Amino acid sequence: MGNELTINTPTKVLESNLKVKGGDDVHMEKLTITRERCINPSLVDSFLRLLRHNTDDVIRQKLNNVGGTNEKIKSERCNEYVHKELYSCWAVRDKVISFCDNEAASMKKELDANYGGTTETITAASDLRLDPYAAREKQEEKEFHYNDLRNLQRWVQNQREVEGILQNTSNRILQSSCDANTNYIAQFEDFRRTIQ
């Protein structure tokens, strides 16, 4: 426990602020992620939503009119968007989700170490004459903590599925707008390896 990850929002995302109801601009330059924020992910969800909105959701608008330009300009515009905006946001989102996934794995080890015993072990460990409710309370505490773990694991799985859908959709759009022969997802994996 005590791990944290501080993420800076990619610069290109900050340039196009997300307009919200009431006309206020959302400025989220940096986010510190902890296990608690992974377990209760409303702030992390908002951060991921901001990154997704400003990259994957607006690919068509960002690449608007590349079809009618010459090949060199089209290639430059596509490469700039892909390498300076899209891949950096994908990498940040992957880092956030991986951090929470690692926290879930650590949490499972800790819970298994603390609550690894069966109900019989819990009952034997507590003297029922002194506290007849100790076994039940211990079991409820165990279920509470494991429920947090299951929710976190489900959240990570859902986020990975969302990322997969968005990346596949973005790949198709990029192939139709930029270069049909490029696998942008494979190219992202190469990009991610270079920044680690």
Q: From the first residue on, what is the mean pLDDT of each consecutive set of 10 residues in the chain (196 residues)? A: 83 51 58 94 93 91 73 86 92 96 95 69 54 73 88 98 97 91 93 86
Q: According to the model, what pLDDT value does residue 62 have?
A: 85
Q: How many helices (H) and strands (E) does the chain have?
A: 9, 4
Mean pLDDT of the chain: 83
Closest CA to 156 of 194, 190, 109, 107: 107
Of all residues in the chain, what percent are helix, strand and coil, respectively (each to 5)?
A: 70, 5, 25
H or E element, residue 32: strand 30-34
Residue 61: Cβ within 10 Å count: 8
Percent of all residues in the chain with a pLDDT value above 90, rounded to a whole number: 48
Distance (Å, rounded) from C-alpha 99 to C-alpha 44? 11
Range of the domain at 99: 4-195
Count of the separate structural domains present in the chain: 1
Closest CA to 89 of 194, 36, 14, 183: 14
For residue range 123-133, list pLDDT tens digits in order.
455 555 666 67
Helix 134-177 and helix 87-115, axial crossing angle in degrees, nearest 10: 160
